[in-house]
Structure 1
Amino acid sequence: MTTTEEAVAAAERCTPEYRRDPHAVYARLREEAPVCPMRPPHGNETYLITRYEDARAALSDPRLSKDMYGAMDAYRRIFGDSSLALDDNMLNADPPKHTRLRRLVNSAFTPRRVESLRPRVEGIVEQLLDSCPAREPFDLLPAYAFPLPIVVICELLGVPPRERSRMQRLSTTVAQTGFDPESKRAQQKAEEDLHAFFTEIVAAKRTRPGDDLLSALIEVRDTDGDGGLTETELVSTAFLLMFAGHKTTAYLIGNAVHHLLSQPAQLRAVRDDPELIGPAIEELLRYDGSVESATFRYATEDVEYAGTRIPKGALVQIALSSANRDPLRFENPDAFDVTREGNAHLGFGHGSHYCLGAPLARLETELALTRLFDRFPRIALADPAAGPRWMEVPFPAFRGLAELPVVLDPAG
């Protein structure tokens, strides 16, 4: 990457080279254009924030709104009208609405409540590993990394087992479509189907409630007219918990396995000292976490960051992957070091929108990694020379692998 202009162009268009390794682009932007005006494919005026201190401040800046209805024209150009019914949730809200919605689901994701799930998550991990071939190359993502968080979040919500594969298929379409007309039509159809999917589940649970989070939210909706949820918020919240509750963790598990296998000294350090698994997960979140960019905000007034004026109405993208490699905040930031101390990364965001499911994501990743490497200490990449193949998506929300071929127990 030789010029700032080339770096901006690569980030705007999400070129294949950029998707494979965005960190070289981010390094130049942090140095020369830390708050960078962009014209991405959706056409909305957008500013990209890449330095750690600016990113951290922006994530909790009340002038940068998350209320999608305040930027409806921009929202429609990016996502279309089909997303509206699914996006009426805490992710796209400011206080007091955000505070109300988050309060209703917060109790399900407290550290104590999540820790009580450990035996069940361990059981799911073991079942998935039992089903994986030991001596043959296979893709770890669909066999292990994705099913684990899907089963966990579906059990929390109360999604019937027979419906889970359909839910995963639809959510994948929503996440991976582009800006061309055919992709947008596929995305719109998937969003409409997901809305119908959760509407049907809500109706079924009203008739026959269970011991699950969705049944509890329905009860609040039906009995608390002032502090509960609207019907649209209820369906949208179910979608948000499902979507955010499995995509981010699945890609994090995949990224983690790839980097640990690619850097054996780091894996050896964790295996020699199991107490390092916690710091290792935090380092993985910093070094190559699954959320590359925070969901968009928009400026409700003119604001200034790093000497750059962001005009009222402009969209703001906060590059978490860039902030987490900022040399002004982290020593030797491009090194993967599981013994790193003082790791105040932004992998789960910051401020009032800090990831609600962070405790659950940490638990799932911890158990997925420890049991995988304990049961299969000789696990190896199926073709190390081939290098990783990263997702090539048009909108850099997720950072994840397209595939992860491994052999659990290679002969000899």
Structure 2
Amino acid sequence: MTTSHHAPEDPADGLLHDLYGTTARLRDTAPVMRVTGTDGRLAWLVTRYEDVREGLANPLLSLDKRHALPGSYQGLALPPALDANLLNMDPPDHTRIRSLVARAFTRRRVEQLRAPVRRTADALLDAMAPLGRADLIAAYAAPLPIVVICDLLGVPEGDRRDFREWWDAVIAPDPAQPDAGARAKEAVGAILGFFTRLLADKRAHPGDDLLSDLIAARDEGGDRLTEDELMSLAFLILFAGYENTVQLIGNAVLALLSHPEQLAVLRADPSRLPAAVEELQRYDGPVPLAIRRFPVEDVRIAGVTVPAGETVLLSIAGANRDPHRFADPDRLDLGRDASGHLTLGHGVHHCLGAPLARLETQIALGALLERFPDLALDAKPDELAWRPSMRARGLTALPVVF
């Protein structure tokens, strides 16, 4: 192992402000590098497609924090009632819990949501239309998945809100705010209180929804779900289903408006939309890094030995722009075969809500482009602000005019 592979660096600035340039340099010079994260803790960053894809499916790379060495980077610090979720589990617990909710996300069940999702999208566009300009994140990309995932879970309309304030405080705190830590702690408390009240209400008033089904599995199924697992699963479904889709829609619209020749191709043939969404996910997806992993024993990655218990960060952004897998990867090409991109994961931890994320993005883009044929950016691309997070890649706002 060379010193370039082992010497700690601070990638925070590069990964935050030049994500694809930084991962391209690392792929070429140090595809498995020990780096220092924004919290000062060490981790191994992996950037080549084949290594990332293999790592996502490698059972020796555990998501369970019990395999982490003391002092290593472990990701978000959440209370047990929110932390007992699929992102911290390996089989067999992962298999047990995933099986309880997987039926809600089959392609057939998701396809039944097509008409309701389109109605929601049209209603949001109706509200935007008279204005002539909008922040597309606040007016469209954020509220659409909130409605969809809350309908799926059975969150009453009176309890719905824009969850971005809570979620941004936890995963994308503003570095200019001196009280960011206190804001994150306050947000976690608010999230915990929200789900505590929601589960109590659903127990008292069950309905025909996913959350009622999960409560029944917990209350009637003996050891099928613990109370912490139930709350953590509800938390994960809501926030993952909301967060990733917001960024996916926003990033996709920006990519299209920044590449008018590709936008023209899609407008000329809307049947390309499903394939286009795959390329848009590859080109600029919402998840720069996969959830951290911990080797259960020493592992070799691209010739580098990573000791047991140290943190491994698999770069989805780096893998999706690897020229050894995707020719001319920095070019948006809606005619490309983008299958095999890793935006939604790979292996047993492949995104449970992948069919729903694809459906929502296809409908969101299709309805938007159909309604506003003259849609354009209302700012220069280099003036747009990105959220200050290595966990999620998305815009703080996307001003458009139509």
Contact 2:121 2:363 (8 Å CA) reproduced: yes
User: Does the 8 Å contact 2:51/2:302 carry over to 1?
Assistant: yes
Q: Per the alignment, do residues 356 and 162 of structure 1 end up closer, same or farther by CA in structure 2, a change over 3 Å counting?
A: same
State the distance in 2 between where 1:252 and 1:156 align.
Answer: 19
Superposed, which structure 2 residues align to 1:6-405 within 5 Å?
Answer: 12-15=10-13, 18-71=15-68, 73-74=70-71, 78-80=75-77, 82-165=78-161, 167-177=163-173, 182-226=179-223, 228-341=224-337, 343-384=339-380, 386-393=382-389, 396-405=390-399
Deviation of the 1:12 alpha carbon? 3.0
Return the alpha-carbon distance in structure 2 between the equivalents of residues 142 and 9 of structure 1. 42
Question: CA 1:219–1:74 in 2, change beyond 3 Å: closer, same or farther?
Answer: farther
Flag the 1:407–1:186 CA change in 2: closer, same or farther, 3 A. Answer: same
1:110 alignment partner AA: T
User: C-alpha offsets along residues 208-262 of structure 1, whole Å, 9 cap, x if unaligned?
Assistant: 1011100000001111113x21000000100000110011000010001111011
Q: What is the identity, as a one-letter code, of the residue corresponding to 1:220? A: A
- The percent identity for this pair of structures is 46
Q: Is the 1:44–1:315 Cα contact (8 Å) retained in structure 2? A: no
Deviation at 1:307, TM superposition (A): 1.2
Q: C-alpha displacement at 1:170, in angstroms?
A: 2.1
Which amino acid counterpart does residue 215 of structure 2 have in structure 1? Answer: I
> How far 1:332 sits from its partner (Å)?
0.8
* Separation in structure 2 between the aligned mates of residue 265 and residue 6 of structure 1, nearest angstrom: 40
Per-residue CA deviations over 1:332-363 (Å, capped at 9, x if unaligned) read: 11110000025310010100000000000000
Residue pair 1:167, 1:194 contacting (<8 A) in 2 also = no
Give the residue type in structure 1 aligned to 2:115. P
Contact 1:7 1:28 in 2 (8 A): no
Cα 1:288–1:342 change in 2 (3 A) is closer
Task: For structure 2, list consecutive stretches of 5 or more residues without a partner in the other structure.
Answer: none
Q: Which deviates more from structure 2 when the two are superposed, residues 186-195 or residues 108-117?
A: 186-195
Q: Secondary structure at the match of 1:257?
A: helix
C-alpha deviation, 1:158, in angstroms: 1.1
Is the alpha carbon distance of 1:200 and 1:177 closer, same or farther for their aligned partners in structure 2, counting shifts above 3 Å?
same
- Matching residue's letter, 1:14: A
Q: Which amino acid aligns with 1:215?
A: S
Could you list the runs of 5+ residues in structure 1 that have no partner in the other structure?
none
Q: Secondary structure at the match of 2:387?
A: coil
Q: 1:100 to 1:203 in 2, by over 3 A?
A: same
Following TM superposition, by how much is the alpha carbon of 1:300 offset from its aligned partner in structure 2, in angstroms?
A: 1.2
Out of 82-91 and 46-55, give the one that drifted further. Answer: 82-91
Using the TM superposition, give the Cα deviation of residue 43 of structure 1 relative to its aligned residue in structure 2, in angstroms.
3.2
Distance between the aligned counterparts of 2:338 and 2:155, measured in 1? 39
Displacement, 1:384?
3.2
The answer to whether the 8 Å contact 1:42/1:78 transfers is no
Contact 1:323 1:346 in 2 (8 A): yes
* Alpha-carbon distance in 1 for matches of 2:171, 2:75: 13
Change (3 A) 1:402 1:249: same
SS of aligned partner of 2:222:
coil
Task: Show CA shifts across 1:41-73 (max 9, x none).
Answer: 323331000000000000011111001233384
The structural deviation recorded for 1:181 is 7.3
Per the TM alignment, residue 185 of structure 1 is displaced from its structure 2 partner at its CA by: 2.1
What code does the residue aligned with 1:89 have?
A: N
| Paired residues of 2:31 and 2:47 also in contact (CA < 8 A) | yes
Q: Please report the TM-score for the alignment, with normalisation by the length of structure 2.
A: 0.94
- SS of the counterpart of 1:296? coil
| Root-mean-square deviation (Å) | 2.4
Deviates more, 1:136-145 or 1:252-261: 136-145
The 1:47/1:122 distance shift into structure 2, 3 A limit, reads same
Deviation at 1:311, TM superposition (A): 0.8
Cα separation, 2, equivalents of 1:75 and 1:87: 17
User: How far off is 1:75 after superposition?
Assistant: 7.1
Structure 1 residues 375 and 292: CA distance shift in structure 2, 3 A: same
Match for 2:400 among 382, 396, 406?
A: 406
How many equivalent pairs are there?
400
- Asked if structure 2 preserves the Cα contact closer than 8 Å seen for 1:44 and 1:314, the reply is no
Q: Secondary structure at the match of 1:331?
A: coil
Distance 2:125 2:39 in 1: 41
